Amino acid sequence: MNRPQIILIGVNHKTAPVEIRERLTLEGDLVQSLALLKSLPEMDEVLFLSTCNRVEILAAAQNGSQALAALMKLWTEKSGLAVSELEKGLYVRKDNEAVAHLFRVASSLDSMVVGEPQILGQLKDAYRSASDTGSTGTVLNRLLHKAFSVAKRVRTETAIASHAVSISYAAVELARKIFGELNGKTAMLVGAGEMAELAAQHLKTHGIKRLIVANRTLERAVQLSKELGGEPIGLDEMDDALIEADIVISSTGAPGTVISGKRIKKIMRPRRHRLLFLIDIAVPRDIEPEVNKIDNVYLYDIDDLKGVVELNKSQREKEAKKAERIVEEEVIKFEQWLESLEIVPVIQKLQKKAENLRQRELDRSMKALKELTPKQKKAIETLTRSIVQKILHDPIITMKNGAKNGCDNKALLESACRLFKLDTVKDEKIAPSKEKRNT
Amino acid sequence: MYDLLFQITLFLYIGATVGFVMHVVTLKKGVRKVAFAILGTAFSLHTILLLLRWLAAGHTPLVNLHESLSFFSWSVAAFFMLFQWKERVRALGAFVIPLATFGMLGAAFYSRKVAPLPPALQSWWLPVHATICLVAYGVFTLAFAIAIMYVIQERQIKKKRLGAFFKRLPSLQTLDRMGQLCLKIGFPLLTLGIITGSLWADSAWGSYWSWDPKETWSLITWLLYAALLHQRLAVGWRGRRAAYMTIIAFGVLLFTFLGVNFVLPGLHSYSTWYE
């Protein structure tokens, strides 16, 4: 009747340098590593997560400390690290702590950049490999699915992912605070660069109507327009384009000023003072800083955008606190499920025993009741079944509620086994069908 | 009965103000819904209140300061709800509803006695002129609140210090568009208010325009709004300058509405009659 123990051991970017982390990846291949871990007799279920920032093993075992010792042995052998070296950066989490840790990792609360969604994908891949190779079972299946749904809850219920930290995202966010919806707006790209193109693409996904691509050489402009879906122009046509544009992203490699304050002042009247948002991500800068002093013109250079990004980071940390609360909640729910795992076998035994008794007594009585019509026989069948169900109903409900309310159901279960003379279910594996029932 | 109802309405307006401010702080949907529910209740009660007053007085209850301020608040709330219905502008309630509440607080200070209407005001011009003017004031109050929001948001983006308001206030363009809409509705109303006032003056005192302080200041207010509308439509003025101009014009409007009565004696200083 032991409930399985969950253990998680690993290192991450905070606890161990990359020199240590890279030596803990076991075999070169994930599938091989899993096979190796599964070959340990102490393990029931196992998952191996290896990313550039962390290496972790998650396992479910009947005997946690034995499994832990086996894992440590395997890891020191495979990595060639001394036990003390390994233990320095290693964290060991058991049961609830392990569950909480996994939930935090999945929700990107333990990441280098908090809120970055990449880790969830990596964890899903790790789980897929593990479940494909049959390394996971009832407990880890449930645990991982729960981790994914916790991650989803955190993403939707907190703003942790919305304060994105990239420069191009910050640019779009600002544009939306200036213009509201971006549909129908015109953007202009001056010069080319990876970051500028990224920002342009970002703007496009937010509904920009037109994209003008200006370049020193028209040839390059034409080529870029094809890639991004824009209209190419030469630098000499830029004045007209500036009148039409709402958002300008400049990133030329020019050593001096490309857009002067005078030039912008001149175009504001023909623009009818429409708001203009200029983003200068070139170093050295393309746009004169004085431009920001002109009414209805907003100029952000690369450092200003970095400032926005920093601000978002601090807001993220606030949201992370909310996320931690969600994790705590979900850990408790998972714990309840784990406890209910011990109960299910007992209930099944109880039902099976009752059903066997009913069947036997019914068969015996039926011999004396041969004259009954099939309809009457059926009625007696139903009668016996419902008596059994009614009698068992309360004990089963009590056991189930015991797990939910977190009271000492171990004693309760033992009493149930003794009262009904059930065999202990200690060495029995949990049937896989229960997984479905509980999810 | 009237007094009690008035207190309840005032109290509800204060509650709605607290609700809208809390919504801006917490950004919780539920809080906004509650704030709207409180405001809706306040507005309904307020409407009943105005009707009761009308029945009790036997004439349009827009004669003394208590009545004017009360109706002013009502029209601010009405326009706010109309606007929200047309296009939801985030955080607008937190800026507008306090102003309506101020109007009600002001009304609470003045005498609520219903006195017989002086002969000069006994005319069907009274409801027409006073209603139009106060409704125009209501729209311009909304324009003022929107302009304040614009100035706050604009400053943050210009100075590149994106504080707590950055996330909470709408985009510059939305605010600018709404400000312009208010101006387009408010200006014709104000014009009509002055014209009806002038016609009334002719029938009551035999002269369309007598440079009474209220009239003079109304003209100044009208000229300011006319200039703003012209600049907006003809030159394409918008953004910061338009917002500042809206704020200044509203200051002058407030003086026309309230200040003139206290500072400058004249034909319109009706509040003094009942003090």
Give chain B positions within 8 Å (CB) of A307. Answer: 160
- For A:209-238, CB contacts with B below 8 A are none
pLDDT band at A165 (very low <50, low <70, confident <90, very high): low
Q: Is the pLDDT of residue A366 over 70?
A: yes
Chain A within 8 Å of B157 (Cβ-Cβ)? yes
pLDDT band at A321 (very low <50, low <70, confident <90, very high): confident
- For B:16-75, CB contacts with A below 8 A are none
A180–B174 CB contact, under 8 Å: yes
A177–B157 CB contact, under 8 Å: yes
Model confidence over B55-66: pLDDT tens digits? 888 888 887 888
pLDDT for res B99: 96
Q: Is the pLDDT of residue A323 over 80?
A: yes
B157–A174 CB contact, under 8 Å: yes
pLDDT band at A29 (very low <50, low <70, confident <90, very high): confident
Q: Is the pLDDT of residue A264 over 80?
A: yes
Residue of A176, A183, A275, A300 to mutate, testing the B interface (most B Cβ within 10 Å of its Cβ): A275
Residue of B29, B152, B172, B244 to mutate, testing the A interface (most A Cβ within 10 Å of its Cβ): B172
Residue in this structure with the two tokens 């300008």, named with its chain if needed:
A248
Cβ-based neighbours of A217, under 8 Å, separated by 6 or more = none
Q: Which of A179, A180, A311 sits opposite B162 (nearest CB)?
A: A311
Cα A230 to Cα A209: distance, rounded to the nearest angstrom: 10
pLDDT band at A439 (very low <50, low <70, confident <90, very high): very low
The predicted model gives B138-163 an average pLDDT of 93
pLDDT for res B48: 94
B172–A308 CB contact, under 8 Å: no
CA distance B160 to chain A (A): 7
- Percent of chain B whose pLDDT exceeds 90: 57
- Percent of chain A whose pLDDT exceeds 90: 27
Please tell me the least confidently modeled range out of A415-424, B236-245, B247-256.
Answer: A415-424
pLDDT band at A403 (very low <50, low <70, confident <90, very high): low
B237–A308 CB contact, under 8 Å: no
Contact between A296 and A275 under an 8 Å Cβ cutoff? The reply is yes
Residue among A24, A17, A14, A5 at smallest CA distance from A109: A14
A304–B160 CB contact, under 8 Å: yes
Model confidence over B78-122: pLDDT tens digits? 999 998 887 788 889 999 999 999 999 999 988 777 777 777 677
Q: Is the pLDDT of residue A249 over 50?
A: yes
Q: What is the mean pLDDT of chain B?
A: 88
Give chain B positions within 8 Å (CB) of A295. Answer: 239-241
pLDDT band at A432 (very low <50, low <70, confident <90, very high): very low
Q: Which residue has the higher pLDDT, A119 or A342?
A: A119
B241–A295 CB contact, under 8 Å: yes
Cβ-based neighbours of A174, under 8 Å, separated by 6 or more = A277, A298, A300, A305, A308, B157
Chain B within 8 Å of A11 (Cβ-Cβ)? no
Q: What is the ipTM, given to two decimal places?
A: 0.86
Tell me how many residue pairs between chain A and chain B have CB atoms under 8 A apart: 50
Residue A293: closest C-alpha in chain B: B158
Give chain B positions within 8 Å (CB) of A296. Answer: 238-240
pLDDT for res B272: 42
Q: Is the peptide bond before A284 cis (omega within 30 degrees of 0)?
A: yes
CATH number attached to the domain at A5-162? 3.30.460.30
A275–B239 CB contact, under 8 Å: yes
pLDDT for res B70: 93
Give chain A positions within 8 Å (CB) of B157. Answer: 174, 177-178, 298
Residue A180: closest C-alpha in chain B: B171
Amino acid at B234: A
Residue of B171, B175, B228, B235 to mutate, testing the A interface (most A Cβ within 10 Å of its Cβ): B171
Q: Is the pLDDT of residue B227 over 90?
A: yes
Residue B111: strand, helix, or coil? coil
Would you tell me which CATH number, out of the four given (3.40.50.1000, 1.10.540.10, 3.10.20.30, 3.40.50.720), belongs to the domain A167-310? Answer: 3.40.50.720
B236–A298 CB contact, under 8 Å: no
Q: Is A407 a catalytic residue?
A: no
Chain A within 8 Å of B230 (Cβ-Cβ)? no
A292–B158 CB contact, under 8 Å: yes
CA distance B60 to chain A (A): 43
CA distance A158 to chain B (A): 12
B172–A176 CB contact, under 8 Å: no
- For A:300-339, CB contacts with B below 8 A are 300, 304, 307-308, 311
Give chain B positions within 8 Å (CB) of A310. Answer: none
Q: What is the mean pLDDT of chain A?
A: 84
pLDDT band at A189 (very low <50, low <70, confident <90, very high): very high
Q: In chain A, where does the domain assigned CATH 3.40.50.720 lie?
A: 167-310
pLDDT for res A435: 37
